Structure 1
Amino acid sequence: MKPKLLDLFCCAGGAAMGYHEAGFEVVGVDIKPQSRYPFQFHQMDWQEALSMLNMSEFSVIHASPPCQGYSVTKSLSQSSAPKLIPVVREALQEIGKPYVIENVSGAKSELINPIKLRGNMFGLQVQRDRYFEVNPWIMSSPVVPTDGSCSSHRGKNRLYEGDGFITVTGCNFLVDEARHAMGIDWMIGKELAQAIPPAYTRWVGEQLMNVCFGEEEAAA
């Protein structure tokens, strides 16, 4: 039987797909409807989920609290937006399960021993830096093969030959190219702009499988 992972603040399921590929059965929770979420989904508040769902069924909990309060991008930053990382961490620590908290670069100082992941660690054509607080702590990190630059063409970000990258934010990108660049084929534009590339959480999930469940479960 696959270990089950609870995916809080799940949005359209970028993180969920990576954990699925790592071998988890994934259940998503979001306060907004997510019609394209690829796995079992509950529309509810994250705190409601922690109190109403049977936590004994879950082996790991992932949380991606809203990033707007932490964003360094002016168009996304909202001074009045909630900064939920501390209260989410407290709730997850009280439950006592292995957990992951993910957020943007601006939240780095709020996270404990975060691991930085970016697209070129996984051969993607986006950079999209994201930080992961993982408990139990994962000591290793992927090797960065090459670096690249972000390029654009006529107001729309384009993939260039070689090691070109695109930026998938706002609405300034082509959906098909963004899907290809991020390794996501089921989302629409606004969902892609917020998504975690599945390659990130596949890597995190594989490490958790080894640390929490041993090599046998990770290879299953």
Structure 2
Amino acid sequence: MQPRLDLDFDLEPQRLPAFLDAVLAAAEERPLIVDSFCCQGGATLGYGLAGLDSHPRGFYVVGIDIDPQPRYCGPAFIRGDALAVLAAMTPWIRRHVLFVHASPPCQGYSDTQVLRGRDHPKLIGPVRELLTGTGVPWVIENVPGARAHMNSPVVLCGTMFGHKTYRDRWFESGGGLVLDQPHHPRHDLPITQMGRPRRVGQMAHYVGNFSGVAEARNDLGVPTMNRDGIRECIPPSYARWVGLRAAAQFLPRTQAGAAA
């Protein structure tokens, strides 16, 4: 396995062109995906799985996050403000990238944070403007409280993928990408109380100082994540679902034949 490519954009923005040249060389003509606001890489894992299903050599995913993220699981990582990095990368994205994913911070849209009176930035609008300017397909993901700020989003839920948690997340697509709403099962099972182990017949709640990190890793398919990463992550199954649809719609049919 090749060592991860890393760039600290805040400290060395002048290195971005050389870093992107190194990404192209490492990708070896595999389709490129950018995972912005990536945290520890739940979406990156999912797009990696979609790539294995959709292309003979898989996808190559570049992560961007404001924090260093030593646990990030992808092959290339840029530390820096995602809006600034995406703006600087736009010409390169337009020429080379299949698809861009963005998960802007959810705190500004979280019902819990609003009830506590905390002020957090709402970045969906600025992110949408940047992604639209790239000219490539894209998706924005966020929590249920962000639904009113998103354009015709679809919802994905853990019950759709056999997980032991609901974790509803909303996805707005653009740049020509079309996502149809799958059947959303009812949330009939009770949710485990905060901080308590999940019991049989309950759905887990992987937030706060939740109990059962090992179970959560196994349930979501995120073996290298710690509690902080699990709290923030998109289940890889969600990103795989999105990635398969992006591949089916935008890769040549000879490469996307397995996408569904």
Residue number in structure 2 paired with 1:100: 139
Mark the structure with the bigger radius of gyration: 2
Task: Give the Cα separation in 2 of the matches to 1:100 and 1:154.
Answer: 31
Task: Give the Cα separation in 2 of the matches to 1:214 and 1:35.
Answer: 34
Residue number in structure 2 paired with 1:190: 228
Q: 2:63 aligns with which of 12, 17, 28?
A: 28
Greater CA drift, 107-116 or 142-151: 142-151
Greater CA drift, 149-158 or 28-37: 149-158
Task: Give the Cα separation in 2 of the matches to 1:103 and 1:154.
Answer: 21
The alignment's C-alpha RMSD in Å is 2.2
How does the TM-score come out when normalised to structure 2?
Answer: 0.77
8 Å Cα contact 2:192-2:202 kept in structure 1: no
In structure 2, stretches of 5+ residues that fail to align are: 1-28, 52-58
Q: Which amino acid aligns with 1:7?
A: D
Displacement of 1:78 after TM fit?
A: 5.7
Cα distance, 1:155–1:49 mapped onto 2, change above 3 Å: closer
Displacement of 1:138 after TM fit?
A: 2.4
Q: Which amino acid aligns with 2:84?
A: E
In structure 1, stretches of 5+ residues that fail to align are: none
Q: 1:4 aligns with which of 32, 38, 62?
A: 32
8 Å Cα contact 1:157-1:167 kept in structure 2: no
Task: Give the Cα separation in 2 of the matches to 1:75 and 1:190.
Answer: 21
| Aligned partner of residue 28 in structure 1, secondary structure | strand
Task: Give the Cα separation in 2 of the matches to 1:97 and 1:187.
Answer: 30
Q: 1:52 aligns with which of 70, 73, 88?
A: 88
8 Å Cα contact 2:154-2:171 kept in structure 1: yes
How does the TM-score come out when normalised to structure 1?
Answer: 0.90
| Per-residue CA distance 1:129-188 (angstroms, 9 max, x = gap) | 00000122424333446744234379413152xx53101000122101111222211100
| Per-residue CA distance 1:20-56 (angstroms, 9 max, x = gap) | 1111211000010100111111101112312333322
Equivalence map 1:61-72=2 (5 Å):
61-72=100-111
**Is 1:205 the equivalent of 2:243?**
yes
Q: Which amino acid aligns with 1:142?
A: P
